[in-house]
């Protein structure tokens, strides 16, 4: 049988489970997740190797009508992922009805040359009687190649989804070696893990005002240790105080939780040093956005 390979973009509204789906498909955590919307900011690629095929998944920020420069960057990142792929997974939430946000997403499906697969996520959270009518409403709104109900959290339906996606791939070479699961550098993934912990442990607007930059990444092979120094950038002095916490307790919690995940990722001991820096109004500053990797 000829070898098949290609790129599949995962798109959808914020907080629909795109990163959870990517991690579940790969069996590894390479994309950060949280219960808050708009957690993903950059395109993240993940590689799934199968017998006779290789799928390169492209996880994207949530599509929404943007407000502000950072949100504009995120939406442009998501739409950029659609420009050169072999197929699209449009992920929707089974617990939500079709609404204005979904209409906004489907506007950008019009004119695509590649096939689009509708994937209905979180079916474990709704009664089965609600799923078929929802799928029917979506099928009338757009000519999807296939419609696949799944639960990214429990894994239900993922094998069926992979079979459908392999059918979309053209014949081609392996783009990545078998031992590569993402093209993202370790520094990027480390910074994302730290940002994920800020999302999980802080409240209100704080996570959306945070950008993490890894300023030092030193491998000390003789000690089986990686030494990492990272800056958590915020917009205001009050946010700095919240991130640090009383007697440094919040920053310690963020660091401890992040270090565990980073050690699991790298397979070595990690010394993680975090500090907080104020970059006033960075989410509205084009130069600052570029400096933090949002360009």
Fold agreement between 4-168 and 186-291: no
Q: Average the pLDDT over each of 46-50, 170-174, 184-188 and give the range with the smallest value.
A: 184-188
Domain 186-291 has CATH 3.50.50.60: no
Percent of the chain whose predicted confidence (pLDDT) is above 90: 58
Q: How many CB atoms lie within 10 A of CB 216?
A: 11
What pairing do the DSSP bridges indicate for beta strands 211-220 and 225-234? antiparallel
Output the pLDDT for position 34. 60
Q: pLDDT tens digits for 212-268?
A: 999 999 998 888 899 999 999 999 999 999 999 999 999 999 999 999 999 988 889
Partners of 87 in the β-ladder: 8
pLDDT tens digits for 93-121? 999 988 888 988 888 888 888 999 999 99
pLDDT attached to residue 203: 78
Find the angle CA(228)-CA(232)-CA(237) to the nearest 5 degrees.
145
Q: What is the full DSSP assignment across 103-157?
A: HHHHHTTTT-SS-EEEEEE-GGGS-HHHHHHHHHHHHHHS--SEEEE--TTT-TT
Q: Which of 271, 268, 266 is nearest to 216 (CA)?
A: 271
Backbone torsions φ then ψ of 17, nearest 5 degrees: 110, 20
Note the pLDDT of residue 33. 67
Is pLDDT of 294 > 90?
no
Percent of the chain predicted with pLDDT > 70: 95
Higher pLDDT, 80 or 276: 276
Distance of CA 201 to the CA centre of its chain: 18
Q: Where are the domains of the chain?
A: 4-168, 186-291
pTM of the model: 0.81
Whether 205 has a pLDDT exceeding 80, the answer reads no
* Residue 115: predicted pLDDT: 95
Of 128 and 66, the structure prediction assigns the larger pLDDT to 128
Residues 6+ apart with CB under 8 A from 262: 190, 193, 226, 228, 270, 272
pLDDT value for 248: 94
Q: Is the pLDDT of residue 8 over 90?
A: yes
Cα distance between residue 233 and residue 273, in whole Å: 14
Q: Which residue has the higher pLDDT, 206 or 248?
A: 248
pLDDT in tens, 14-72: 888 898 999 999 988 877 666 665 666 677 889 999 999 999 999 887 776 767 787 78
Supply the pLDDT for residue 32: 62
At residue 216, φ and ψ (nearest 5 deg) are -150, 130
For the ranges 85-94, 147-156, 286-295, the lowest mean pLDDT is seen at 286-295
pLDDT for 38 equals 61
Per CATH, the homologous superfamily of domain 4-168 is P-loop containing nucleotide triphosphate hydrolases (3.40.50.300)
């Amino acid at each position: 049988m000829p070898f098949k390979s290609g790129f599949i973009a995962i798109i959808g509204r914020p907080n629909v489970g795109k990163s959870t789906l990517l991690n579940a498909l790969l069996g590894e955590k390479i994309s950060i997740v949280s219960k808050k919307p708009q957690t993903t900011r950059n395109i993240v690629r993940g590689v799934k190797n199968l017998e006779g095929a290789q799928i390169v998944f492209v996880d994207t920020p949530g599509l929404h009508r943007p407000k502000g420069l950072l949100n504009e960057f995120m939406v442009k990142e998501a739409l950029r992922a659609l420009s050169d792929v072999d197929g699209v997974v449009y992920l929707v939430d089974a617990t939500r009805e079709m609404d204005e946000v979904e209409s906004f997403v489907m506007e950008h499906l019009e004119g695509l040359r590649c096939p689009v697969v509708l994937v209905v996520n979180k079916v474990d959270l709704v009664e089965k009687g609600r799923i078929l009518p929802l799928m029917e409403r979506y099928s009338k709104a757009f000519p999807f190649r296939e419609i696949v109900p799944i639960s990214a959290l429990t894994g239900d339906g993922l094998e069926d989804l992979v079979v459908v996606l392999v059918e979309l791939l053209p014949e081609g070479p392996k783009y990545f070696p078998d031992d590569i699961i993402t093209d993202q550098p370790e520094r990027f993934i480390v910074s994302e893990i730290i940002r994920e912990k800020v999302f999980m442990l802080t409240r209100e607007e704080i996570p959306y005002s945070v950008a993490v930059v890894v300023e030092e990444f030193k491998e000390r092979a003789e000690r089986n240790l990686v030494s990492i120094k990272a800056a958590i950038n915020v917009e205001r002095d009050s946010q700095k105080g919240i991130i640090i916490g009383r007697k440094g307790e919040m920053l310690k919690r963020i660091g401890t939780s992040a270090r565990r995940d980073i050690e699991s990722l790298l397979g070595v001991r990690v010394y993680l040093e975090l500090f907080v820096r104020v970059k006033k109004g960075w989410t509205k500053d084009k130069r600052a956005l570029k400096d933090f990797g949002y360009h």
